[in-house]
Structure 1
Amino acid sequence: MSKSKSNIVKMILMGAVVFSMHFGGSSMIWPMTWGKVSGTNVLSAYSGIFLTALLFPLLGYIAIIRGEGTFFQITQKVSSKFALIFCSLTILVLGPLYTIPRMSAAAWDAFLQLTGIQAGSGIFNIMFSVVYYLIVYWFIARKDGVVDKISKILLPVLLIAVVSIITKGLIVPLGEVAPREYSTLPFVYGFINGYDTAELLCALIFSTIIIDDLKNKNMSKNITRDLIIICAIGIGILSCTHMGHMIIGSKVSTSMVDLKFAALYTNVVVELWGVVGGAIFNVALLMAALTTAIGLSLSSAEYFSEVSENRLEYKHSMILVLVFSAIVSSLGLDTIVVLVTPFLKVIYPPAIVLTLFYSLGPQNASKRVFFGFKLAIISSFAYGTLEGIVEFMKMGGAVENGLISFYNLIPMSEFSLGWVAISAALFFLGMAVWQNKDDDEGKLEASI
């Protein structure tokens, strides 16, 4: 095989690995439910989901490429203190405090279904956690081999299982398509639910894994072009699986009325494949949970090593991340999910502002433009903090007070999008009030 053809194969495999790291948990199970409740409006809902759950992550990868640094490095250009707070909170939520343990819980559920072991079997739970995190450790112990290990071991099983489910689901008639179950406009429904997947946040931290692997493979001198192609392949595959799952879900909107999420998915695959279908689903879920946990564990370990300026070596950071994740998963995720959800409200708005600026903003942005960006991202973080506090208040039983009333006055706050108008206004205000006689000459040192 010629070098050019070999590189094409490698890029396709790396793109498929990008897909697999995004596919764990929510991106596997949620789309079928989105399709079921959208019914005859499934395509309109998909268009909203495509924007926030698929296009935004692709822009996230492009932002890291154009920013010429890691997630932490490009955020430091705003402010070192802001970068430390925002990036650390993001890594903790996506890593050991929530998402990694959630992947472990999903894998445990799949294991229970495959083996028939009772959920209350404490000793088996401990044994499973030990084995699970040892497997993750084996995958990420050497950073330079992670992508190849995933593509050779986990990816084939995951793709075969998912393709089997979607292909048969699209061919076999499962029921009638009903009108949508919600009153919101389908596009808005899709936009908000895609927003809640947090795939953009994953893209911002997964990008370093792919960039490092590209550099190690030395496939070509144009890493920027190769990375865009690889990420487009990965997000493209994810777009197809979302569409397939949503269409299948819409076809069971009358026959599986009361089922959602994992229960809905399980019933659909059993309907399609019988008892074998249950096994296919649980194997796919196990593989999806593992690939996402591997990506997040590696990214988290790299971040803590980076932010400590390598005083905490990668191998030690990696062990701490895995041990902490295992402890959190042993404590039970129900409470953690409730406590962590408001933090997602805090970190998502600034992540979108960061992504839009670095992916779509001007090359060599002037100080004037960058000042507007700084105001926009800091204001979006402030809005997210306000929304997080309001969420905690509501969890505590608060119905109405001064802060909640103020929050409700913000346009689009009912959709968690109140930051949009505020950030846009402050971006333009920042450019308007900026005064610097050297502005036309002074450009942002780092190209974006």
Structure 2
Amino acid sequence: MKRQTKDSIVLGAALFAMFFGAGNLIFPPAIGLTSGDKWLFSLLGFFITGICLPVLGVLAVSKAGGTISELASKVGPKFSLIFGSIVVLAIGPLLAIPRTGATVYEIGVAPLSSINPIWVSIIYFSVTLFFVIKPSGVIDKIGKILTPILLIVIGTIITAGSLHPIAPAVASKLKNAFSYGFLQGYQTMDTLVAIVVGGIILASLIEKGYTDSKIQFKMTTIAGVMSGAILLMIYGGLMFLGATMGTSVTPEISRTALILKITQAALGPNSLLVISVAVSAACLTTSIGLTAIAGDFFAHVSGGKIPYKATVIFVCLFSTVMSAIGVDKIVEIAVPLLVIVYPVAIVLIVFNLIDPLLPYKAMYKGAVLGAGSIGIIDAFKALNLDFINTVFEPVYKIVEYLPLSKYGFAWLLPALTLSLAFGLLGEYFAPFRSGFTKADQVGIALTTTDPE
């Protein structure tokens, strides 16, 4: 086997481990349950936001220079700082880290014990803090052991459940299963994780001696396809199992209770301990990794003014409180933030990948403004507060008339339109604006002259 091929396979395994956390278990079955006989259409939408975008995110960050700051810097340095901070907070103490703690309680502890969830959170995040403050190779070794074990457990559940389905998938009342799966894919937050830690993949390749950018891109692409294929099989299997549970559970069942029901149906009542231990340990490795990322990020962007230890202590304390509210409540809270951040992240990923084809870097600003504006409107709608709905009802109706809005792409036309407008206006007014030279149009001096 060629060295490049072997290293690409190793990289693909690492990429899969980076994307696949225990939290990813809870969404596909729930999507399948809601989608019923339309689960394949939901899988297609979920495939785009839950698999394709994270892989493209890694490629875009690698091409941009290796950090989320460089990915967003073409919009402006202040935007880069704000966007990077929001993303790190989202995959950190606001959403993803507390969700790991809540998942540990609901899947790993509650089925086996009646202990109060707050005590589980305190113990869980104390262990997280111990490993984060005193980094040790032990947790990395545990992660390398646990990922294969978790995969074997999930693979066994999917195989057993597929060979002996509980019931045929029931007819679904979903109007648009594709859009539902597409938007649910936001909840994995893997795209946000990808654009934060994508630089690790690039650094790994450089460390192995691959300095040619074309070879780096090729190897990362191979690794991405490999990890994406594994994720697709797992997500598809779990979604199918969820679709076959429609006659056995109520639609109101929680996401964590559903995966436990599926496990029991596939492997028997004594299987809960196996899935509980595997999921809990996998959650811990994810929590430790994301907490360390948050600490490193804010220490770096503040020039050391926000100490690493202070950040990780705050993250663990805040997450302890947040995790006690439960997985479903955290997922509900996440929606308004994710519908703002994801369209902007998608624009930045796509534009960085096609950067050589963009004649004017001002196009980045227009695209982000267009996508972000619709995202904010969608966030207000997701809050579902009466006084906000009353004020914004006319705006909601306008957004519904935008092309592809029913598929979750209402932001696409505004992003493209403003991107073209900013590019053309930048070209037209360039000779008359001080500080906006031809160099700005090709992106050489934009970040130093722009007030952003």
Q: Say yes or no: TM over 0.5.
A: yes
2:239 corresponds to which letter in structure 1? M
Q: 2:218 aligns with which of 220, 225, 235?
A: 225
1:290-334 residue CA offsets vs partner (Å, 9 max, x unmatched): 343234223322321221234545566445444443454468778
CA contact under 8 A between 1:375 and 1:430: conserved in structure 2?
yes
- Counterpart contact for 1:14–1:147, Cα < 8 Å: no
Question: Residue 182 of structure 1: SS of its match in structure 2?
Answer: coil
Distance (Å, rounded) in 2 between the aligned partners of 1:246 and 1:196: 15
- Find the aligned partners of 2:265 and 2:258 in 1 and give their Cα distance: 11
Give 1:231 shift. 2.8
Distance 1:365 1:64 in 2: 17
1:404-443 aligned within 5 A:
404-410=393-399, 411-412=401-402, 417-435=409-427, 436=430, 439=438, 443=442
Report if the CA contact (8 A) 2:103-2:327 is conserved.
no
Name 1:42's counterpart in structure 2.
Answer: 39
CA separation of 1:41 and 1:332: change in aligned 2, threshold 3 A: closer
Q: Aligned partners of 1:334, 1:257: CA distance in 2, in Å?
A: 16
1:212 aligns with 2:209: no
Q: Distance in 1 between matches of 2:142 and 2:223?
A: 15
Decide whether aligned partners of structure 1 residues 64 and 121 sit closer, same or farther in structure 2, where only a CA change above 3 A counts: closer
| Correspondences of 1:133-212 after superposition (within 5 Å) | 133-135=129-131, 141=135, 149=141, 152-179=144-171, 181-212=172-203
Shift in alpha-carbon separation, 1:69–1:125, aligned structure 2, 3 A:
closer
Query: Which position in structure 2 is the counterpart of 1:284?
Result: 278
Tell me, what secondary structure is at the counterpart of 2:443? Answer: coil
In structure 2, C-alpha distance between the alignment counterparts of 1:266 and 1:423, rounded to whole Å: 41
Instruction: Report if aligned partners of 1:27, 1:197 keep a CA contact under 8 Å in 2.
Output: yes
Residue type at the aligned position of 2:290: L
How big is each residue's C-alpha offset from its partner over 1:1-23, in whole Å with a ceiling of 9 and x where there is no partner? x8x46x65554344233323323
For 2:240 and 2:109, the matched residues in 1 are separated by: 28
Question: How far apart are residue 28 of structure 1 and its match?
Answer: 0.9
Tell me if the contact between 1:39 and 1:253 (Cα under 8 Å) persists in the aligned partners. yes
Counterpart position of 2:351: 357
Moved more, 145-154 or 26-35: 145-154
Query: How many angstroms apart in 1 are the aligned matches of 2:327 and 2:39?
Result: 31
Mapped to 1, the partners of 2:226 and 2:174 lie a distance apart of: 34
Is the alpha carbon distance of 1:415 and 1:186 closer, same or farther for their aligned partners in structure 2, counting shifts above 3 Å?
closer
Q: In 2 relative to 1, CA 189–384 (structure 1 residues): closer, same or farther, beyond 3 Å? A: closer
Q: State the superposition RMSD in angstroms.
A: 3.2
Aligned to 2:122: 126
Distance in 2, matches of 1:399 and 1:69, equals 40
Q: Tell me, yes or no, if the aligned pair for 1:24 and 1:290 is still in contact at 8 Å.
A: no
**Structure 1 stretch 315-324 or stretch 50-59: which is displaced more?**
315-324
Shift of the alpha carbon at 1:137? 5.2
Pair 1:94–1:33, CA change in 2 (3 A): same
Q: Give the letter for the 1:232 counterpart.
A: V
What letter corresponds to residue 309 of structure 1 in structure 2? G
- What does the per-residue CA deviation read over 1:229-285, in whole Å, with 9 as the maximum and x for residues that have no partner? 323322221111011111222233333354452222211211121123222322332
Distance change (3 Å), C-alpha of 1:320 and 1:260: closer
* Residues in 1 aligned to 2:41 and 2:283: alpha-carbon distance in whole angstroms: 29
Distance 1:251 1:161, change over 3 A: same
Give the equivalent residue in structure 2 for 1:70: 67
Q: 1:166 to 1:10 in 2, by over 3 A?
A: farther
Q: TM-score, normalised by structure 1?
A: 0.84
- The structure-2 alpha-carbon separation of the partners of 1:124 and 1:26, relative to structure 1 and needing over 3 Å to count, comes to closer
Number of the residue aligned with 1:28: 25
1-structure distance, mates of 2:22, 2:56: 22
Aligned to 1:83: 80
Aligned length in residues: 432
Match of 2:292 in 1: 298
Q: Counterparts in 2 of 1:290-329, with a 5 A limit? A: 290-312=284-306, 314=308, 317-326=311-320, 328-329=322-323
Q: Equivalent residue for 1:381?
A: 372
Query: How far apart, CA to CA, are the structure 1 residues paired with 2:199 and 2:316?
Result: 19
- The 3-state SS of whatever aligns with 2:94 is coil
Alpha-carbon distance in structure 1 between the residues aligned to 2:139 and 2:362: 38
- Letter of the structure 2 residue corresponding to residue 287 of structure 1: A
Kept after mapping to 2: 8 A contact 1:17/1:147: no
How many Å separate the matches in 1 of 2:394 and 2:97? 35
Quickly say closer, same or farther: Cα 1:210–1:226, change in 2 above 3 A.
Answer: same
1:250 paired to 2:243: yes
Bigger shift: residues 419-428 or 303-312: 303-312
Write the deviation string for residues 371-429 of structure 1: whole angstroms up to 9, x where unpaired.
1221111232233234334544x33x326433342233223567664322211111122
Q: What pairs up with 1:92-107 in 2 under 5 angstroms?
A: 92-107=89-104
Matches of 1:175 and 1:335 in 2, distance apart? 29
Closer/same/farther in 2, CA of residues 320 and 13 from structure 1, 3 Å limit? farther
Alignment check: 8 A CA contact 1:364 1:444 kept: no
| Residues 414 and 64 of structure 1, relative CA distance in 2, 3 Å threshold | same
Is 1:444 matched with 2:443?
Answer: yes
Q: 1:287 to 1:226 in 2, by over 3 A?
A: farther
Q: Secondary structure at the match of 2:160?
A: helix
Match of 1:398 among 369, 387, 391: 387
- Alpha carbons 2:291, 2:312 under 8 Å: kept: yes
Task: Provide the C-alpha distance between the structure 1 equivalents of 2:372 and 2:177, rounded to a whole number of angstroms.
Answer: 28
CA distance in 2, matches of 1:108, 1:15: 30
Question: What's the secondary structure of 1:183's corresponding residue?
Answer: coil
State the shift of 1:185 in Å. Answer: 2.9
TM-score of the superposition, structure 2-length normalised?
0.83
Distance 1:315 1:231, change over 3 A: farther
SS at match of 1:418: coil
- 8 A Cα contact 1:14 1:151, kept in partner: no
Q: Give unmatched runs, 5+ long, in structure 2.
A: 432-436, 446-452
Q: Is the 8 A contact 1:136 1:290 kept in 2?
A: no
